[in-house]
Amino acid sequence: MNETFVNKVSESGLVTLNLEIFYPREEVAVFDLKDYLFMGLILKEKDFRESLKNLDLTMFTGKLVAVTCSADAVIPMWAYMLVASSLQPVAKDVRFGSADDVKKQVLLQNILQLNANDYADKRVVIKGCGDLPVNEAAYLEATRLLRPVAKSIMYGEPCSTVPIFKRK
């Protein structure tokens, strides 16, 4: 008896979008303003400017840089601007927040580069579980971009999906 197995998933016309492909792979270096505070409380402009002039930039070269202050201190806005001005020439990118915050920001920026027209009139499955921490905002942004063009959007795996949107 010859039984032919049919792969219904591959014949369904579903297109899978794995948001992990947009996850930043670059190393994130952290610039913590806490290390430049006088007595752990105050940022002195003259000392801070001098520290930035003497800063070894090699640890930030070609990397995503997360600028933050892990101390409970009031940091003047110009301090963040000085840091960005110092690091921008060598860093791949300079962002405000923790290393995780920066990865989330870059993930969203990368998703915004998605050409939604590639998914026009297609049945799209936005892949669920994965190895990288793709957050809620990424799924929301992908749905927002695809909804105007996709025939349908589902979440999960092609063999087990949760319907999100279907054009009528």
pTM for the full predicted model: 0.83
Query: What secondary structure, in 3-state letters, does 78-100 show?
Result: HHHHHHHHHHCCCCCEEEECCHH
pLDDT given for residue 1 in this prediction: 57
Instruction: Please state the φ and ψ torsions of residue 87, each to the nearest 5 degrees.
Output: -90, -30
Q: Which residues have CB under 8 Å from 83's CB, separation 6+? A: 31, 33, 52, 67, 94
Of 12, 2, 55, whose CA–CA distance to 31 is shortest?
Answer: 55
C-alpha distances out from residue 120 to 17, 146, 149, 167, Å: 13, 8, 5, 11
5-15 pLDDT tens trace: 444 444 468 99
pLDDT given for residue 158 in this prediction: 82
**CA pair distance 31, 43, nearest whole angstrom:** 15
**CA pair distance 98, 104, nearest whole angstrom:** 10
pLDDT given for residue 4 in this prediction: 57
User: For each of the chain's 168 residues, which pLDDT tens digit applies?
Assistant: 566 544 444 446 899 999 999 999 988 999 999 999 988 889 999 999 999 999 999 999 999 999 999 999 989 999 999 999 999 999 999 999 999 999 999 999 999 999 999 999 999 999 988 889 899 999 999 999 999 999 999 999 888 889 999 998
Of 26, 83, 38, whose CA–CA distance to 57 is shortest?
Answer: 83
Strands 152-157 and 160-166 come out as antiparallel
